[in-house]
Amino acid sequence: MNDFFQPIFNLAEPLTSALLALLAVLTILWLRRRAWSRRARVAAFALVVVVFFSGYYLLRQTPAGARWLAAMNTPFAAIFLTVVLPAMHLPRNKWYRLFLVWPALLAALAVVSIVEAYGSVPEESRGFYWILIRPVWLISGITALLVLIQPMLRLATFRTVVRGTCLAILVYGGFALRHSYDDYRTMLARRKDAVADMMLIAETSPVMQNDNRLAYLPSAPCRFTADGGYVQGCNLEMLQRLMQVNLGAVARRDPSAIGALSVILGAAAVFLAFCFATGRAACGWLCPLSTLGDILNWFRRRLRLPHYKPAQPIKLTVLFSGLGLAGVALAMAKAYPHLDADGKFAGCKIPLYPFCKICPSQQVCPLAAHGISGYAGLPTWDWGFGFFRAACMGLLAFFALAFVTSRRLWCRFCPMGMIAGLFNRGGMFRLAKDPDKCNQCGVCADVCPMDIDLVRSEMTDENVSSFDCVLCLKCVEKCPRDTCLSLEHAGATVAESHYEP
């Protein structure tokens, strides 16, 4: 099937560009502000897409252009453009029902892809190898299925389904979701070389590994989960890679250094484009670390324990502590290329990815994926004069306490969330409120996992988006006033409050 669709994939390659995704949402926002007919808006949007396709094909003819374009291509962009964006912006009428044929077709093709992959397994090796499917078909199939079932589910149920699906893919996907039978066998052979304590890149290979581009999401999937995870890792890993680029070699026009820089900058461009398009929604819907943390919060609620609402000084302390640790880790990553023969810098032993060494994700996610046998243990005292072991234990304790005692205090510490939070205002998502319908009952503040009071207190500005908001939509879900609260994307209403006794 992949051979059959390959010519179509080659022709539609510009759809995988994060630049087109960014251009599309900006164009939609601009067109919604024009007093044009629907036909004129569709024609203008089509013209923008055609011009982008033409420019893309021309730029791809040059070696440098092809390299930079490849670095900014990702199947997530194509799925966002062809499935997610129409699902959010098309009115719920006959056109939306016609659009649903497309995700239904993608879901069917994903199933066909699995059947075809199993059909290519040698006769003597027939058996169960979990799900053999290429990333493009998995991402499109799962997203399409979620779009199809969304109208049938309550908002809370749909959020749970999305978060559970992302947890399964991003934590277990490196093992259970491989391209083919040969890829699955390669993965099994690599597992025998696991080494505790020190993370070795050779022992992890994400499913979406590609020499020409890095695949990241604006959330916190860990590279060092089961057999390398599904995507490349979290964006702190990307920033640490960026710090390790040999800028001197780039200045000397070394091809390998320029290639490495283009791949990392391409990944950063994709990350920023998706942050602009989605804000901090990934924290509320995709992040596996917050989902695992919310399981701790679930146990707290079952035990009927109260949750602690931190005061503003505590929130600021946590925020700047996260920024400070991220800064120290990036400085260490910058020093990594300058290690001496003993693997030390100024007598300090530094790991490849310093922030990963202390991040709870590297402790929690492998444990969730492999069980006790997958736990690599705490860093030993010789790393960073004991800094990494002490910091790792401290952050593990803080991670557990942050979710058990105060819901999402950890999310105020997470550097990835801070970066995405910058786009909550000025980005494409907007949490809107009709002050005339609000009676300041306080339900939104009570259910908010980030303890945000702005939605309740703001009575003049319709935009109640805030830096801390993870766009989980619990406030929209629980608001007792019809259409008082809504989530908008590029001017289109995606969800709004409806009172249900």
The tokens for 351 are 């790991």
Q: What is the pLDDT of residues 373-394, one digit of tens each?
A: 667 678 888 888 889 889 989 9
- pLDDT value of position 159: 95
Hey, what's the torsion of the CAs at 267, 270, 272, 274, to 10 degrees?
Answer: -140
Judged against a pLDDT cut of 80, whether residue 6 lies above it is answered with no
Burial class (CB in 10 A: 0-12, 13-18, 19+), 378: middle
Highest mean pLDDT among 146-150, 291-295, 337-341: 146-150
**How many angstroms from the chain centroid is the CA of residue 140?**
15
- pLDDT value of position 97: 92
**Amino acid making up residue 354:** P
Q: What is the pLDDT of residues 44-94, one digit of tens each?
A: 999 999 999 999 999 999 998 999 999 999 999 999 999 999 999 998 888
HSE at residue 12, side-chain half, CA atoms within 13 A, is 14
| Closest alpha carbon to 180 in 110, 118, 115, 108 | 118
Summary mean pLDDT of the chain: 89
- pLDDT value of position 443: 94
Mean pLDDT of 239-259: 89
Q: Are 37 and 47 within 8 A, CB to CB?
A: no
Judged against a pLDDT cut of 60, whether residue 100 lies above it is answered with yes
Q: Are 485 and 495 within 8 A, CB to CB?
A: no
> Which residue spans of the chain are classified as CATH 3.30.70.20?
429-496
pTM of the predicted structure, to 2 decimals:
0.90
d(CA 229, CA 366): 9
Q: Which residue has the higher pLDDT, 5 or 313?
A: 313
The pLDDT confidence band at residue 2, using thresholds 50, 70 and 90, is: low
- pLDDT value of position 198: 43
249 CB neighbour count, 10 Å cutoff: 15
Judged against a pLDDT cut of 50, whether residue 160 lies above it is answered with yes
The pLDDT confidence band at residue 202, using thresholds 50, 70 and 90, is: low
Q: What is the pLDDT of residues 313-325, one digit of tens each?
A: 888 898 889 889 8
Judged against a pLDDT cut of 80, whether residue 195 lies above it is answered with no
Judged against a pLDDT cut of 50, whether residue 400 lies above it is answered with yes
- pLDDT value of position 437: 93
Judged against a pLDDT cut of 90, whether residue 192 lies above it is answered with no
Query: Helix 38-59 and helix 63-71: axis angle, to 10°?
Result: 130
d(CA 279, CA 218): 9
DSSP string, 152-169: GS-HHHHHHHHHHHHHHH
**How many angstroms from the chain centroid is the CA of residue 309?**
27
The tokens for 323 are 């920024």
Judged against a pLDDT cut of 80, whether residue 8 lies above it is answered with no
The pLDDT confidence band at residue 197, using thresholds 50, 70 and 90, is: very low
Burial class (CB in 10 A: 0-12, 13-18, 19+), 8: exposed
- pLDDT value of position 1: 67
- pLDDT value of position 196: 45
Judged against a pLDDT cut of 90, whether residue 182 lies above it is answered with yes
- pLDDT value of position 315: 86
Hey, what's the torsion of the CAs at 421, 326, 232, 70, to 10 degrees?
Answer: 70
429-496: CATH number: 3.30.70.20
